[in-house]
Homo-oligomer: A and B are copies of this chain.
Amino acid sequence: MNSIDFVKNTLTFWDKITPIDRRLIMDNIALLHYKKGTHIYHTELDCMGILIVKSGELRVYLLSEDGRDITLYRLTPGEVCVLSASCVLKNITFDVHIDAEQDSELLLLNANFFQELYNKNIYVENFASKLTIRRFSEVMWAMQQILFMSFDKRLALFLLNESKKNNSDIIYLSHEQIAKYVSSAREVVSRMLKYFSNEGIVKLSRGQVILLDKAKLEKIL
């Protein structure tokens, strides 16, 4: 799909704005390329605008003063990142970081123009609010995993979800990466994976985790 169609399909307020604004949107959209691992955004540094994931994957996370990292959610193609425009959104007072988890193509609708649209068109404001509230729910889910679930359950759930998401029993992630996604330490992940592998639930090899016994993994939940 070309960028124009992609934008039309994603910005659900498209029919609620004037033809002039539609053209202005296209004029104010930039196609950005980020290599895997790039730090794209931090609230305190800049106000970027609305990001539409065209390809690849983004990770939105919290970072503590002492460098601890909590994954809030990930964004895949077709999803829109609103927190990269938190300067525009009213009532958002927390800081997030955004990284490219994969080589990613992003469409950026710049903050200034989005601010204009947001201020003059309640449907645009509503679009942003609804997306933000959806993220709120995702964040609450992630928080409940971290605060309420024992770690073996968290890791089991993560492995099953990844396998389902990619429709594969091989998960191509390092222990380091998994630790980030489940908001834990690499050592903790490695120890639990070692335990899973001793139990014959998974097989570990360089940069991948192979699920051998999903039934057993589901029993852990």
Contacts and interface: CB of A to CB of B under 8 A. Distances in A.
Interface string A110-147: 00000000000011011001101111110111011011
A66 interface: yes
Given A65-B150, A122-B126, A141 B94 contact: yes
Contacts of A122: 122-123, 126
A68 interface: yes
A70 interface: yes
Protomer copies: 2
Nearest to A142: B143
Interface stretch (A85-93, A164-172, A173-181, A193-201): A85-93
B139 A68 contact: no
Number of contact residues on A: which range applies?
A: 35 or more
A130 B132 CA distance: 10
B94 A133 contact: no
Nearest to A66: B150
Contacts of A151: 65
A133 B137 contact: no
A137 B83 CA distance: 12
A125 B126 CA distance: 8
Interface of A: 62, 64-66, 68, 70, 89-94, 122-123, 125-126, 129-130, 132-137, 139-141, 143-144, 146-148, 150-151, 183
